[in-house]
Amino acid sequence: MSDASPSLDALPCGVVSFTDDGRIVAVNRPLAELLGHAADDLVGRHVETLLTVGGRIFFQTHLYPILRLHGVASEMFVLLRHSDGTDRAALMNAVRHERDTGAVVDCVLMEVRERRKFEDALLRARREAEDANRAKSEFLANMSHELRTPLNAIGGYVQLIELGIHGPVTDAQREALARVTRSQRLLLRLVNDVLNLARVESGRIEYSAEPVVLDTLVDSVLQMVEPQMATARVTHEVIAPPGLVAVADREKLEQILLNLLSNAVKFTPAGGVITVIVEPDPDGRHVLVRVRDTGIGIASGKLESVFEPFVQVGASDAPHREGTGLGLAISRDLARGMGGELTAVSERARGSTFTIRLPSAGVPER
């Protein structure tokens, strides 16, 4: 090693020391040989000259700030430049020491050839996976859109026939048309769910955050599900102190709450109670909206999977519930999109509680 202990020359890795302004003060022989230089030629040069041009930009924008702010950089990938103009990939560990004469960075470098090939394969695989996933989401979004057009046409023409516009309709025909309409609506809802999921997954949802007064919002959403509740003979109660305000996208929050309430109605037997509770999070920076039911519940092992797309837990042993199983996946994505979270706790045969956690509108302590 030039200007340093000769034993460093025996190490199976490159060693280089440089000052804060980048001047090389010592370099060992293995590193000099890796780069096609004599060690003595490198001392006094700027450390950037050991790097490719892209590597130099990385040094200035990432490595130097990390060394200056943290004093240590571990397992950093760098591209070194050989004197013949080709590059050498290396992993680098570096430590910055303050000394009386100024700061010095000591650096160990190991060439990585096999690992680089492995990383190439990983990078390629990751990009392919990302591309495939994006293509899938786009396909779903487009496909769902294409499916809606004929479904709407079916609905429209059935209505025209029902109205007798194309001639008199018999009772039997009317009943058949009602069945067509029901199926058409169900199918349309499924398609809309898929479309929503595809939109969320492809990141095409825009959020507009605003202060939302929660007790008012809960009331208005409950009004929407009251007919459903009446049919299912399920009652509800609300525990919402006035004045709790969340920062959220009002429409998205309504969508989540509507989904949770519809689910609660679907999975709660007649005579059950659905409770909506609004309360501040103990952390002081969030608010919680809970929807609790006295329904069939979810086994603890299956709790997380209800948030997976296309999963309907309990569908095998419970009466069939219609839907795509996308509602909760979409709701969780939406909650997260607003800087919040959607979680669940449940007990088989006792009921479930779904909790929406959202940023509170109070000024957080920073």
Partner 1 sequence: MPVDIIVRNNVRVSGRGSQPMLFAHGFGCDQHMWRFIAPAFEADYRVVMFDYVGAGHSDLGAYDAERYSTLDGYAQDVLDVVHALDLRDVIFVGHSVSSMIGILAANREPARFARLILIGPSPRYVNDPPRYVGGFERADIEGLLETMDRNYIGWANFLAPAIMKNPDRPELGAELTESFCSTDPVIARRFAEATFFADNRSDLPKVTVPALVLQCADDMIAPDVVGEYVHRAMPASTLRRMQATGHCPHMSAPEETIALMREYLAGLATA
How many residues bind to partner 1 according to rule CB under 8 A? 49
Q: Is 283 helix (H, G, I), strand (E, B) or coil?
A: coil
- DSSP label at residue 8: G
Which one among 4, 95, 209, 344 touches partner 1, defined by CB under 8 A? Answer: 209
Q: Is 78 in the site for partner 1 (CB under 8 A)?
A: yes
Three-class SS of 305-350: HHHCCCCCCCCCCCCCCCCCCCHHHHHHHHHHHCCCEEEEEEECCC
48, 193, 249, 293: which one binds partner 1 (CB under 8 A): 48
Q: How far is the CB of 129 from partner 1 (least distance, A)?
A: 12
Which of 36, 164, 211, 271 is the binder for partner 1 (CB under 8 A)? 211
Q: Which stretch binds partner 1 (CB under 8 A): 75-83, 167-175, 251-259, 290-298?
A: 75-83
Which residues ranging from 89 to 148 are in contact with partner 1 (CB under 8 A)? 89, 116, 119, 122-123, 126
- Between CA 55 and CA 63 the distance in angstroms is 10
For residue 74, count CB atoms less than 10 angstroms from its CB and return exposed for 0-12, middle for 13-18, buried for 19 or more.
Answer: exposed
Amino acid at residue number 238: V
Instruction: Select from 90, 95, 102 the least CA-distant residue to 50.
Output: 90
Of the candidate residues 10, 57, 238, 315, the single one contacting partner 1 (CB under 8 A) = 57
Nearer of residues 89 and 287 to partner 1, judged by Cβ: 89
Q: C-beta of 238: minimal distance to partner 1 in Å?
A: 27
Q: Which stretch binds partner 1 (CB under 8 A): 27-35, 47-55, 143-151, 230-238?
A: 47-55
| Residue 172 is a binding residue for partner 1 (CB under 8 A) | no
The verdict on 232 binding partner 1 (CB under 8 A) reads: no
4, 13, 79, 273: which one binds partner 1 (CB under 8 A): 79
Q: Are strands 351-359 and 341-347 parallel, antiparallel or unpaired?
A: antiparallel
Q: How far apart, in whole angstroms, are the C-alpha atoms of residue 274 and residue 268?
A: 8
Cα torsion through 281, 282, 283, 284, rounded to 10: 70
Q: Determine contact, residues 235/194, Cβ cutoff 8 Å.
A: no
Rounded Cα gap, residues 183 and 202, in angstroms? 29
As beta bridge partners, residue 276 has 238, 291
Q: How far is Cα 77 from Cα 249, in angstroms, rounded to an integer?
A: 41
Sign of torsion over alpha carbons 131, 137, 140, 146: negative
In terms of CB distance, is 234 or 361 closer to partner 1?
A: 361
Pairing of strands 72-81, 87-99: antiparallel
With contact defined as beta carbons under 8 Å apart, do 107 and 94 qualify? Answer: yes
> Mask 243-282, x = binds partner 1 (CB under 8 A)?
----x-----------------------------------
| 331 scored as a contact of partner 1 (CB under 8 A) | no
The piece of 3-11, 70-78, 255-263, 267-275 that touches partner 1 (CB under 8 A) is 70-78
Q: Which is nearer to partner 1, 203 or 269 (CB)?
A: 203
* Interacting residues with partner 1 (CB under 8 A): 20-22, 46, 48, 52-58, 60-62, 64-66, 68-70, 72-73, 75-79, 87, 89, 116, 119, 122-123, 126, 203, 209-211, 247, 336-339, 359, 361, 363-364, 366
